[in-house]
Amino acid sequence: MSLRFSYTLIAPFYDLAIRPAFDKVRQNTLLDFPSGGRVLVGGIGTGLDLPFLPRDNHYVGIDLTTAMLRQSQGRRDGLDLNLVQGDSQRLPFADASFDHALLHLILAVVPNPEQCLAETARVLKPGGTLQVLDKFLRPDERAPLRRTLNVLLRHVATRTDVVFEHTLARVPSLKIISDEPLLGGGWFRCIRLEKCA
């Protein structure tokens, strides 16, 4: 099953499943999000981040499915926001065209998180920042249940085997500024990065 098909089916129910668990986390992690720039929101989904973002940025949200983008449209609430249907692993934007980027709950969804992270780094300006929120295994963490579940879940909705440090090792232009454990005993993390000049 393709992700496009899965998330088209999931779109009407996505908020019911995800919003209660993540609204407070989103709000807290976006409190000090940079303002006054051009921001890429990769895998914008139904736009659950939008109510918590600063109003003085220009946002470009990209998602694989029109079903998710339709839901995002209803959450723009005065934000300067353009929505684009496309693949976060092959961004249709020029190099160094964004000041900041946001990848919330997308790196562990896409088939190739390294490519998604590399593409996001490509479109960031030097000195630009990136905020990632997702579930990641730690290096050398066994997690047999999560790895077993991944065999099925990766084809339906999300991956449970992504190790952020391994993903980041393929994108040397990014450096970690902070790494904060959140939900699930630190399985979910908020990681802030900067693109090296």
What is the distance between the alpha carbons of residues 41 and 59, in angstroms, rounded to a whole number? 7
β-strand pairing of 80-85 with 98-104: unpaired
**Residue-wise burial string across 49-75, b where 16 or more C-beta atoms lie within 10 A, e elsewhere:** bbeebbeebebbbbbbbebbbebbeeb
**pTM score, whole prediction:** 0.86
pLDDT digits (tens, 9 = 90+) for 98-126: 999 999 989 988 989 999 999 999 999 99
pLDDT digits (tens, 9 = 90+) for 1-53: 576 656 666 666 667 667 777 788 888 888 889 999 999 999 999 899 999 99
What is the distance between the alpha carbons of residues 182 and 184, in angstroms, rounded to a whole number? 7
Domains and CATH numbers, the chain: 3-195 (3.40.50.150)
- In this prediction, residues 80-91 reach a mean pLDDT of 96
β-strand pairing of 124-135 with 98-104: parallel
What is the distance between the alpha carbons of residues 127 and 118, in angstroms, rounded to a whole number? 15
